[in-house]
Amino acid sequence: MADAATFDIDAFHREAVETPSHDAVDEMRDLLVDALADGGHEATVDEAGNVLASREAAEEGPHLVLNTHIDTVPPHVPFREGEDDVVRGRGSCDAKGPLAALLAAFLRADVGAGRLTLAITPDEETHQTGAGHLEETLSADGYVVGEPTDLDVCTAARGQFEGRVTIHGESAHASDPADGANAIRAAAPIMQAMESYSEHHGPGEHETLGRPTLTPSMIEGGEAPNQVPAECTITFDRRSVPPETSDEFPERLEAHLGQWLPDGMSLDVSLVRPDTPFPEAFETDREATLVQTLAAESGGAIRPFGAATEAAHFAPDAPTVVFGPGVLADEEGAVAHSEREYVRRSEIHEAAAAVEATVERLLSTSR
C-alpha cells in the first residue's frame, strides 16, 4: 500500500485522463476510491454518487472542503504527451488536473486542527445533482472548488440556467395562412424582446461580474411544410448576476415577452430541468481569510471565474473559491471542452502545493 508521501500525482493524473468518464463515471469513481485507499483513507459514496473522505484532527478547528468533479463532456479524447510538460486529453484540465491537485493536497497536508473533507461530484457537466445533494448534507467553514483558473483565485461567477420559451398559435393550411396563427412568425418579435429583457428587468451591471446575458440558442417549430405552425419553441441560456435567481426568472421573462405577442397567441417560459439544481451567481468577499491565504500561497490574482461552477452550491454556506491548474481558453481559442484540451504538469504540482499550504495554515494548531 502506498502512503501519502509516495502518492504519484502525474501517474494518477494520467490514469484519470485515460479513464473515460463522459458517459458513465463508475470506472473513474473506482479509480479515485482506490487512490484514497492506497493513501490510507476509506472513502464513502453517498446516495447521489459523491465520493467523500475526511481527515479529522483531535483538536477542534475549522472544517475545510476540497471539491471538484470526475465527469467530463463528450467525446473522450485520448491522453497524449506534448512538448515540455504539456499533457492533453479529455478532462486533462477540466477537471482531472484540479482533481489530482486536490487529492494530493488532501493526502499530504498536515491537519493539525479541525477537519478536511474531499468531496467529489459525479455530474457537474450535466445536472449537478451531486452538488445539490452536498448543499443539503454538508456544511463547512470554507470550500476550494477545483476548476481550471490558471492558478488564480476566483471569488465570483455568473449563474447559468437554461429554459424554453414556447409560443402557442393555431394551425391552418398554408394555402390560407390567415386562418391560423403562425407561431414561427411570432418568434421574431419574441427574440427581439429577449434582447431587451435585461435592460428593462434585469439586475443591471454587477460590479464584479458585469452584465447578465440572455442568449437564444435553439429554435424548433412546425410539423409539415404546408401547414401553419401552431407551436414554436426557443431554447435559451441565461447567465445571471446577483441578486437574480433561477426561481424568479421564468415568471418575469414570461411577463416581459407576453407584451410582444400578436393577438390570439400565448406563450409560457419554463426551465429545461426544473427538478435539478442550477448554479446561481455568487460572490465571496475578497478579504475572506481563505481567499487571502490561497492567493498568498499560489501567487495568483483574485478575480471572477469565466464559467458557471458547482461553487454556487457551496457559497451560501461559507467562503468559496474556485482554483486550479489549466485554463478555460488561451490565445488560440477554447481549451476546456475542446479537442485540444491540455494542462501543464508543473501547474498541477503548483496547485497541489498551494492548496496543501493553505490547508496547513487554516487547519493548524497555532491559529
Could you say which of 271, 293, 326 is where a domain stops? 271
Are 251 and 149 found together in one domain? no
pLDDT value, residue 366: 57
Residue 276 lies in a domain: no
Which residue in the list 124, 135, 147, 244 is annotated as catalytic?
124
Our answer to whether residue 124 is catalytic in this structure is: yes
Are 166 and 103 found together in one domain? no
Q: Return d(Cα 321, Cα 275) in angstroms, integer.
A: 26
Residue with C-alpha cell 442550477?
278
Q: Using pLDDT thresholds of 50, 70 and 90, give the confidence band for residue 54.
A: very high
pLDDT value, residue 84: 83
Are 122 and 193 found together in one domain? no
pLDDT at 2 over 50: no
Are 92 and 220 found together in one domain? no
Q: Report percent pLDDT > 70 for the chain.
A: 98
Are 8 and 144 found together in one domain? yes
Our answer to whether residue 59 is catalytic in this structure is: no
What would the grid cell of residue 289 be? Answer: 481569510
Could you say which of 271, 301, 322 is where a domain stops? 271
Q: Using pLDDT thresholds of 50, 70 and 90, give the confidence band for residue 118.
A: very high
Could you say which of 227, 246, 271 is where a domain stops? 271
Q: Using pLDDT thresholds of 50, 70 and 90, give the confidence band for residue 136.
A: very high
Query: Exposed, middle or buried by CB within 10 Å (0-12, 13-18, 19+), for 252?
Result: middle
What would the grid cell of residue 184 be? Answer: 414561427
pLDDT value, residue 346: 97
- Quote the domain boundaries for residue 212: 159-271
Are 119 and 187 found together in one domain? no
Looking at residue 104, which CATH number applies to its domain? Answer: 3.40.630.10
Residue 46 lies in a domain: yes
Q: Residue 58 has what DSSP assignment?
A: S
Q: Span 139-150, mean pLDDT?
A: 98
pLDDT value, residue 367: 54
pLDDT value, residue 164: 97
Residue 265 lies in a domain: yes
> Do 281 and 157 touch, CB atoms closer than 8 A?
yes
Q: Residue 122 has what DSSP assignment?
A: S
What would the grid cell of residue 305 be? Answer: 471565474
Looking at residue 217, which CATH number applies to its domain? Answer: 3.30.70.360
What would the grid cell of residue 100 be? Answer: 489530482
Residue 250 lies in a domain: yes
Q: Return d(Cα 89, Cα 342) in angstroms, integer.
A: 6
Are 324 and 295 found together in one domain? yes
- Three-state DSSP at 134 gives helix
Residues 6+ apart with CB under 8 A from 104: 7, 9, 352, 356
pLDDT value, residue 200: 85
What would the grid cell of residue 140 be? Answer: 463547512
> Do 284 and 291 touch, CB atoms closer than 8 A?
yes
> Do 199 and 284 touch, CB atoms closer than 8 A?
no
- Split into its structural domains, the chain has a count of 2
158: left (phi over 0), alpha (psi -120 to 50) or beta: beta
Which residue in the list 71, 135, 244, 360 is annotated as catalytic?
71
pLDDT at 173 over 80: yes
Are 247 and 335 found together in one domain? no
pLDDT at 37 over 90: yes
Please count the residues of the chain: 367
Residue 25 lies in a domain: yes
Q: Return d(Cα 71, Cα 128) in angstroms, integer.
A: 10
> Do 234 and 165 touch, CB atoms closer than 8 A?
yes
- Radius of gyration in angstroms for the set of CA atoms belonging to the chain, rounded to a whole number: 23
Q: Which amino acid is at 188?
A: A
Are 22 and 146 found together in one domain? yes
Are 97 and 209 found together in one domain? no
Average pLDDT, the chain: 94
Are 51 and 196 found together in one domain? no
Q: Which amino acid is at 348?
A: I
Confidence (pTM): 0.89
Q: Return d(Cα 360, Cα 109) in angstroms, integer.
A: 6
Residue 50 lies in a domain: yes
Are 194 and 228 found together in one domain? yes
Residue 135 lies in a domain: yes
Q: Return d(Cα 298, Cα 316) in angstroms, integer.
A: 25
pLDDT at 158 over 90: yes
The per-residue DSSP string of 290-346 comes to HHHHHHHHH-PPEE--SS--THHHHTTTS-EEEE-SS-SEETTEE-TTSTT-EEEHH
Q: Return d(Cα 324, Cα 343) in angstroms, integer.
A: 10
Residue 367 lies in a domain: no
